[in-house]
Amino acid sequence: MTVLSVNVNKIAVLRNSRGGGAPDVLRAARACLDAGAHGITVHPRPDARHINARDVLALAALCRERGVEFNLEGNPFAPPRAGYPGFHALCAQARPAQATLVPDADAQLTSDHGFDFARDGERLRPHVAALKALDCRVSLFVDAGDPAVAQAAEVGADRVELYTGPFAAAFVAGDPADALAACADSAIRARAAGLGVNAGHDLDQQNLPAFLAAVPGVLEVSIGHALVDDALYAGLAATVRAYLALLAVPSP
């Protein structure tokens, strides 16, 4: 079964654009969980442009209370600074069920590439070990089609998250076959190495069925931007239920 983790970063973007506490990130997360979402994802950036450390701790407490997965994303190499204690320190405080490591730079608008294992593999190893010592499941953000995806297992990770942005763009262009093949190949390589497979970035109600039909063994999808976009028109609870209905179709 593929589970849905809702990324609530965009709720925090709206809140921060005006200041104050509305919309309420914690209330939005509760609404998603009430509608059946299996977990909550956030990706706090060091510049606190959306989710901040206070949000992280509040959402972690909510997920513990509900008995659902809290997935905390971040760059393990980003140094601490005012208002951001560093990814490992945040994980030590929040104790997420899953820590997803992403190689995003400060200036990036959004995550747009996976790890380069030739460059980053040995650097990742101690970070993965430290997170697993906190009882976090560790997932690494990877490019679909990367022939080195199995190296995630060698550095100690439990899962990989396939970066699905190129697939989503190819889907819109009407020619997703090659991108789907790359995603499927990476999933097969990852599973053969004993890794679980997650996926995320620009997945939506239009492209998700094709993705799940083509890519074997996807355990979890993390969806935020498109889900919040849909929720503006259909409502948050109805949108979460619509995504869950798509995920209810068995994947290969």
What's the number of CA atoms in the CB half-sphere (13 Å) around residue 134?
A: 22
Instruction: Give me the helices (H) in the chain, please.
Output: 9-18, 25-34, 53-66, 87-94, 117-132, 151-154, 165-173, 177-192, 208-214, 225-234, 236-247
CATH placement of domain 3-247:
3.20.20.70
Q: Which residues pair with 218 in a beta bridge?
A: 197
Q: Are 90 and 44 spatial neighbours (Cβ–Cβ below 8 Å)?
A: yes
Q: Which residues pair with 74 in a beta bridge?
A: 101
Average pLDDT per run of 10 along the chain, which is 252 residues long? 97 95 97 98 92 97 98 95 93 98 76 85 97 98 96 98 97 98 98 98 97 97 98 98 91 53
User: What are the residue ranges spanned by the domains of the chain?
Assistant: 3-247
pLDDT, position 248: 93
Residue numbers annotated as active site: 43, 73, 201
pLDDT, position 48: 84
pTM strictly above 0.85: yes
Q: What angle do CA 196, 201, 203 make, to 5 degrees?
A: 95
